[in-house]
Every structure is written in structure tokens, then in C-alpha cells.
Structure 1
Amino acid sequence: MPHTPMYGHTCDVVPLQPAHAAELHAAFSQDRTGALWTYMPTGPFQSEAAYCQWVTQAATSDDPLFFAIINKADGTAIGVASYLRIQPAHGVVEVGFITFSSALQKTPMATEAMYLMMKRALGELGYRRYEWKCDALNAPSRRAAARLGFQYDGLFKQALVYKGRNRDTAWFSILDQDWPRLQAEFKAWLDPSNFDAAGKQKTALRFEGEP
């Protein structure tokens, strides 16, 4: 899995570097409640120094393979995501450690970042299966998976323990055979003509078979 940039219209997805840490910490600190970290294996971080230490370590990892999401308008880092459980021999990879600041959540950038990562795995590298997993209690993550075209595969009960509690894990996936159809939908939705002058979408992202 190459650790190289992915460029989009509204955002870029680039290898995570220690230089991104201060901007990411500032963006994530807009969440005063710490709710952003509820379903994450890491965080919340008590200081910028603590987060910088985590980024410095994460930037050296090959699996998970971390990326920063950059707002193309101003060049600031506003989110993190990674590939993990990378299995090229089987053509399987998971997307995870998805941490979106309030500046990224529910924006075209958020959708485009996920599309760029899908496109690399399923389109450019020819992976057969692209996975999304989350805590079964994480309703926003489950909704996001469905909106992005993932199909629900099932529930792994008592899959692990984190932050002192049980986690039942919901599994979702996109298969290679579904990618051409999904890619066409993403490209149509992300086209600048789908947004008005205020940045509001004209047509919602909706995949065939969705309710």
C-alpha cells in the first residue's frame, strides 16, 4: 500500500507527519466535550504535547498506515484516517482510525477524503474487499458507512475490550464488483456543478438499493 498523497477537488489526503500535529490538535480541540474520542482506541489527549507524541509514533507505522486530511482551501490539517489490516495477498484492506474535526464533519471534504481512499484501494490497486468496522453502539459511524455505499456484513459480539468496556463490532464492506457503480455515483456527487454558490448540494449521494 503506497504511502503517497491522494489529491482531490476540495481536500488532499497526505501521509501523516509530525508537522501536522499542532493543526490537528487545534482542530480536534474544538470538541470541548471529548465526544470525538468516545469510540476511538486513543484519546482524548490532555495536551498538544501528548497528541504530538502520538502523531510522531503513528507517522512511523506501516499498518495502520496513517494519513492527514488537508483542507485544500487553506492548507490546514483537519482530520485523520488510515488503512489497516492491509492484506495485499488476499486483496483485503480496512479503513479506520477515522477522526474528523468539526471543520470536516458533514462536508464535501469528508466524503471526498473517503472516496479518494476507496479509489486508491479498489480502483488503482485492485483490492477485492474494502472494509469498515465500528463499535455497534456508534450510530453515526454506522450511518456514515451506509451513506458511503458499504454493505452491512454482520455483528461480531464481544470482539474486543477497549477503554475498559466490551465492544461488539459491526462489519461493513465494499466489494470490487460494486466499485464501478459506486465510483460513478461519487464522481457525479462530487462534481462542482452539484453544489450551489453557498456550497449546498443539489442532489444527495444515494446508492442504488438504499431506502
Structure 2
Amino acid sequence: MFAIPLGTGDGERAELRPLEPWQAEEFFAHMERGREFIGRHIGLPDVNRTVEEARAYLTAYAEKQAADSGRIFGIWADGTLVGGVLFRLFDAAQGTCEVGCWLERDAIGRGLVTRAAGVIIDWAVEERGIQRVEWVAGARNEPSIRTAQRLGMRRDGVLRQANLYRGERHDLEVWSILAPEWRELRAASS
């Protein structure tokens, strides 16, 4: 298995690794720790209420990876799974993908998601030829929107009341970055 360092500069050991079905117990324990915080904006904890559900969720992503239609990665800080990033949708033929993320409360403010998302976006653009990377966030999910901004994305628009979450309708913001914009941003930061 590979691990990509997500150095924070403060001595913390952080890395990005594939998240696979055999890690269901660790993933479930992570969901238990972060259930309330993570669930404020996304339904990930709602579909991972047991180890069996966690295994099924990770298996579904393993199948997506096998079909080249999605992937999931965990973020480990000092050896503990604290969050992750994923390609919720991945369509190499169309040259588009959607990136998503989640993080436990204790891991916020360190830039872990921004760096991890940057790694997978760079791979999608440079290795797979993706031309458009999307980021969809609830309009009230300010941390996710700030991450999209830090990644150099532009707000494409708002899908009004597009998401029914826990019995309430929510607006979704769609952000994106195109391959030439991503390359330009990377060149300017090196």
C-alpha cells in the first residue's frame, strides 16, 4: 500500500492512503469519534452506523475503483484515521470528477484536507487527463467552501434546495477548477 506524506510543518506525521474494506473497523471507529461533527453537513455517518455498514461502504468504493468511477482515501494524523477525501464521481471518458471530503473536529485547522484534495486533484488532472474537477458543498458548509476556495476553485452557482438532508432542504454550491487553471495555480506556487 502507498502512503503520501501530507507534512504540516509542525512535526505532525500526516499521510494520505487508500481506504479499503479490510479497514472497516478502523473506519467505523473514526465515524464513531466524529459522528456528530462530520454529520453536521454530510450524511457519511448516517450510512456508517455499524462495522458491517462501514465495510459495505468501503466495498462499494472498492467496486467504484475497479470500475474507474470513484475512489476513497483516508487521512491519517500520527497514525490515527481522522478524515478523508474521495472521488465521489469519476468519469475519465468525459474528463470530469467530483471531489469530496470529511474531517473529525480535532483535525481541523491544519490544512490536511486542502493538501489531501490537492494530491488527488493533481493525480486526476496530470495522470488521468481530467479536465474539470467539481466540488459540491452545502451552502451552509463554510469550511468546505473555504477549502474549495483554497484549492483555487471558482463558484459555478447554487442549486437551490437540491439536497434533502435530515428532513430539511438545503442549497448546494457547485465549485470547479479546470485543468489549465489547476496547472497555472500549481506553476505559480512552485
TM tier, shorter chain? Answer: 0.7 to 0.9
- For 1:84, the equivalent position in structure 2 comes to 88
Q: CA offsets per residue over residues 167-198 of structure 1, 9 Å max, x none?
A: 32100001111112322455x5xxxxxxxxxx
CA contact (8 A) 2:38 2:44 kept: no
Matches of residues 167-182 of structure 1 in structure 2 within 5 Å? 167-182=170-185
Q: CA offsets per residue over residues 123-153 of structure 1, 9 Å max, x none?
A: 2222111110011121221122112211111
Equivalent residue letter for 1:79:
G
CA distance in 1, matches of 2:42, 2:110: 21
Report how far residue 26 of structure 1 moved.
Answer: 3.4
Q: Kindly report the root-mean-square deviation, in angstroms, between the aligned alpha carbons of the 2 structures.
A: 2.7
Q: CA offsets per residue over residues 38-59 of structure 1, 9 Å max, x none?
A: 2213324555565455434444
- For 2:16, the equivalent position in structure 1 comes to 13
Q: CA offsets per residue over residues 48-78 of structure 1, 9 Å max, x none?
A: 565455434444334442222233x43x322
CA contact (8 A) 1:161 1:167 kept: yes
Q: TM-score, normalised by structure 2?
A: 0.78
CA distance in 2, matches of 1:6, 1:83: 17
Equivalent residue letter for 2:148:
A
**Count of paired positions:** 180
Q: Which runs of 5+ in 1 are unaligned?
A: 189-211
- Shifted more, 168-177 versus 57-66: the winner is 57-66
Equivalent residue letter for 1:82:
L
More helix by share: 2
Query: Identity across aligned pairs (percent)?
Result: 27
